[in-house]
């Protein structure tokens, strides 16, 4: 994927804002504690994931998966193969909750589909080339997102 995931997240935040402002369809009430809890949940995926990459001295740059030197499979990476993207998605959901417009949910769907179908697929192909069977075994064991039902949990989703 040529668009950096952070840029895609920023674009989806803008998209959600635009949809909420100009085409809200319907609005909903949302308690402040739910927005805060959702944002914190996103951070609880993002921070340990980035720190694991730093601790293992491997690349955090999603545009250069070929620079990966270590296959990180412990900690948060034993729950999901993509905790950074899960965290970004949850933070985006917190923003959509804050906006309180049903139409803004389309930005969450767009982010999920773009990351899942374009970014992750390319990363997984590269990681298979670099790490081979250990990555394939990891991909069979740990879901791409959080639940196997979302993407069937295999690297060939």
CA 105 to chain centre: 15
Q: How many domains does the structure of the chain reveal?
A: 1
The per-residue pLDDT for 62 is 85
Q: Which of 64, 76, 83 is nearest to 144 (CA)?
A: 83
Say if 156 falls within a structural domain. no
Range of the domain at 14: 5-60+69-151
Q: The tokens of 17 are what?
A: 């804002």
pTM (predicted TM-score) = 0.90
The per-residue pLDDT for 3 is 84
Say if 14 falls within a structural domain. yes
CB of 15 within 8 A of CB of 8?
Answer: no
Burial of 66 from C-beta contacts in 10 A (0-12 / 13-18 / 19+): exposed
The per-residue pLDDT for 151 is 46
A 10 A CB-CB count for 40 gives: 12
pLDDT block averages, 10 residues each, the chain of length 157: 89 98 94 98 97 92 88 96 98 98 98 95 94 97 83 47
The per-residue pLDDT for 59 is 86
The per-residue pLDDT for 90 is 98
């Amino acid at each position: 994927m040529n668009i950096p995931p952070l840029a895609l997240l920023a674009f989806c935040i803008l998209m959600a804002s635009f949809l909420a402002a100009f085409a809200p369809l319907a609005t909903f009430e949302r308690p402040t504690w739910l927005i805060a809890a959702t944002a914190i949940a996103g951070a609880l995926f993002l921070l340990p994931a980035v720190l694991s990459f730093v601790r293992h001295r491997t690349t955090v740059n999603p545009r250069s998966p070929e620079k990966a030197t270590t296959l990180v499979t412990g900690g948060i990476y034993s729950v999901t193969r993509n905790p950074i993207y899960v965290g970004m998605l949850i933070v985006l959901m917190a923003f959509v909750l804050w906006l309180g417009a049903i139409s803004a949910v389309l930005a969450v769907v767009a982010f999920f589909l773009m990351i899942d179908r374009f970014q992750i697929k390319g990363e997984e192909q590269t990681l298979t080339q670099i790490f081979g069977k250990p990555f394939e075994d990891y991909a069979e064991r740990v879901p791409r997102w959080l639940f196997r039902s979302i993407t069937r949990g295999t690297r060939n989703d």
